Chain A
């Protein structure tokens, strides 16, 4: 099967998923107990006014008609309107998006090199002291609540030692890097153990593979074997895991943004949830899901690019 038809098949499958996402995010708001309109207008408003608003928002139509309107709006890039901000959700998301993207990228920049280093050290002697230590620290890293670690680190490094700012986003790239260091570190501490264990296992498997023996028989140096043979063959499972983890990374970012008062999508989401601004929640869920789908697709394509045997 050639790459193009595989890609088309994958895209068709994604369209199915995207329709599903639209249905779920639509139902999320419409099956909710409580009426967004009476929240908007207040409980003691005249029923006629409420009926008027319902009509204005199209909430008096049957459910399936509302869904068709919703999908039609999605096609135009209209993912709803914030009741609280009185602004299109898409504009809000674009406004709050950059700190989150920057933070996610920052986390990856911290996590990927340390994962590589730790996994290589651990895989050198499986079961050895370094390996056991890295595994134990990894288990601890997984059990720490990110938000608590964030608070404690900002107390220690921010307040007591004064090395880093405790909140905010700053102005300019350098300032962003400085402001977001603690948030990114709190998240990376949780991400690195997961990736390290995966890469370590793959490296150990790779060391015993037949093609390594073959490379050794061809008198390649150990250094060459590691960088050119073992490593490229071992990164794929970890790359796929990283794709899955991006979804968790987004969840982690929400919490961390709250702790460090970073004005990103997480702050927007929590604000919308507590303010019962359902359309913002709906829009964000939709955008997060679409982003996850996009990341999965990119990882699949990268996999196919790195490993010609895999044809998605």
Chain B
């Protein structure tokens, strides 16, 4: 059996792997960019400069300019604010809701669990992207509605994941011991079950962050997420698509930014996964 140790294990003995080090550097970098975009950007991201339309990358405009002369580098930096915010607000609410539901459903079982499993069956029947797209379409395009739709759809996977963990943890000796000692279910669930069940959820949250970031950019690209003239990577790529033959840089750089942020989360998830596997085999 994994996780015989009753202490919370995911954090203790944290030895960063190479993956983790790269990931933390990338994510930290983007976080700083997102917070300090105003200070770091050399130009106003919305400043139109008709004399410098579609200027190629060079000394004055590192990433070139777009079809109305806006500085692509500054726009990429400012867009990080939207995209980093999206990753956080698209992952945290489903994670919290899903964890709560999964704990209750897995620990207490019974009718609640039956109901949850039916809801789960229903949700997995809908392709993730189609369902989010349909909900956003019905609520109306925009970032807030995108996050609402993600939350409505995303919590189910977290709940399912944590439920599976709880089902095996609930039968372990330390949980039975806690029960014998007369701890209330609330204490057992939060202090004993949750810390041991959360590991895979954290790893999954990282890959979910990649998915959310890609979905956010895709929705921006389709005109269903962040709305122009707001700088957002997907929106920028959509804007640049019409000019891609003359000015590839408008599309290239926001895409690279998205890839690097995605890689940050993916490597972090990969590193966390490795650490967890190491602990299981240790």
Residues on A lying within 8 angstroms of B by beta carbon are: 13, 16-17, 20-21, 24, 28-29, 31-34, 135, 139-140, 142-149, 151-152, 155, 159, 244, 247-248, 250-252, 254-255, 258-259, 269-270, 272-274, 276, 278, 281-282, 284-285, 288-289, 292-293, 296
Contact = CB atoms under 8 A, between A and B. Distances in A.
A34 B141 CA distance: 13
A17 B121 contact: yes
Interface in B101-129: 118, 121-122, 124-129
A148 B254 CA distance: 9
Contact of A139 (B136, B222, B266): B266
A16 B129 CA distance: 22
B223 A33 contact: no
Contact of A151 (B121, B135, B222, B251): B251
Given A16-B121, A24-B122, A151-B244, A143 B263 contact: yes
A269 B118 contact: no
Contacts of A152: 248, 251-252, 255
Contact of B130 (A145, A244, A250): A250
Contacts of A250: 127, 129-130
B154 interface: no
B222 A21 contact: no
Contacts of A252: 129
Given A142-B210, A143-B259, A293-B125, 9 more contacts: A13-B121, A32-B138, A147-B218, A148-B254, A255-B221, A272-B137, A273-B224, A281-B137, A288-B127
A166 to B, nearest CB: 10
B134 A33 contact: no
Nearest to A269: B133
B63 interface: no
B130 A284 contact: yes
A259 B237 CA distance: 11
B208 to A, nearest CB: 12
Given A17-B121, A270-B222, A143 B128 contact: no
B267 interface: yes
B258 interface: yes
A145 B121 contact: no
Contact of B218 (A16, A255, A285, A296): A255
Contacts of B135: 28
A139 to B, nearest CB: 5
Given A32-B138, A145-B234, A251-B129, A17 B122 contact: yes
Interface in B17-48: none
Contacts of A148: 217, 221, 237, 251, 254-255, 258-259
Nearest to A32: B138
Interface string B244-282: 110010011011001100110111001000000000000
A24 B138 contact: no
Contact of A32 (B139, B214, B244, B255): B139
B133 to A, nearest CB: 7
A140 B263 contact: yes
Contacts of B224: 273-274
A258 to B, nearest CB: 7
Contacts of B210: 142-143
Contact of A147 (B124, B128, B237, B265): B237
B26 to A, nearest CB: 10
Given A142-B266, A159-B245, A285-B134, A292 B252 contact: no
A255 B130 contact: no
Contacts of B255: 144-145, 148-149, 151-152
